[in-house]
Amino acid sequence: EGVDVELRKGQEVYEIDLEQLESVLSLLQSSADGSLESNFDALNLTLHPEFVVKLVETPLVLGENLIRFIKWALKEKPEFRVTTHVLDALVRSTCSGLVRKRDVYFLWDFVKEIGEKENTLLNLEILNELISSFSKLGKGKAAFEVFNKFADFGCVPNADSYYFTIEALCRRSFFDWALSVCEKMLDAGVLPD
């Protein structure tokens, strides 16, 4: 029998049901097939952003499965809303350690989808983490795509945004694109150390 974890925010008290948490984690860690969503349906979950953050921050869960869970929750659980905290945790979890190309692309597609519906949920750290991950994977075009979405998502690039993007583009010999990012960096007057 699990002891519930209690989280306090102002006057609101939310308790994470550890049995539900363990059930979902078991599915996320063991399933990579198409039946994942139907297994979620069977659990009769009540979702809260803190529950989802706790799931996302658990090690050894594929980023793709976490994203599938959040997509399922958005579709099937009207009480659940994605927050910046959930997105930030998802990006940090998916982009840390051994980064899988498939997971980062799946994550970027999900982040774009969220940003196009509600761009206030995205922030500089989320986008920089994606650019950095694409750079590590040698995916210059994808890093450049993230960089080019900053304005659409209401974010202003910082020195790291420019640096990671230029680095990613130069790794793939996209020097013309890298030059355009350098020019934007100089125009903005934001220079990396």
b/e per residue 134-165 (b: at least 16 CB within 10 A): bbbbebbebbbbbbebbeebebebbebbbbbb
* Backbone CA torsion sign across 57, 63, 69, 72: positive
**What gap in Å lies between CA 2 and CA 23, rounded to an integer?**
12
Q: Are 176 and 182 in contact (CB under 8 A)?
A: no
Q: What is the pLDDT of residue 31?
A: 64
**What gap in Å lies between CA 73 and CA 159, rounded to an integer?**
35
Q: Could you tell me the two tokens for 143?
A: 């890093």
Can you give the pLDDT of all 193 residues of the chain as single tens digits? 344 444 444 546 678 888 999 999 998 888 666 678 888 888 888 888 889 999 999 988 888 899 999 999 999 998 899 999 999 999 999 998 778 899 999 999 999 999 999 989 999 999 999 999 999 999 999 999 999 999 999 999 999 999 999 999 999 999 999 999 999 999 999 887 7
Residue tagged 């989802």 (tokens): 52
Q: What is the pLDDT of residue 34?
A: 67
Q: Which residues share a beta bridge with 13?
A: 8
Q: Which residues share a beta bridge with 7?
A: 14
Give the tens place of pLDDT for each residue, 128-169.
999 999 999 999 999 999 999 999 999 999 999 999 999 999
Which residues are CB-contacts of 120 (< 8 A; sequence separation ≥ 6)?
154
Q: What is the pLDDT of residue 2?
A: 43
Residue tagged 């009207």 (tokens): 78
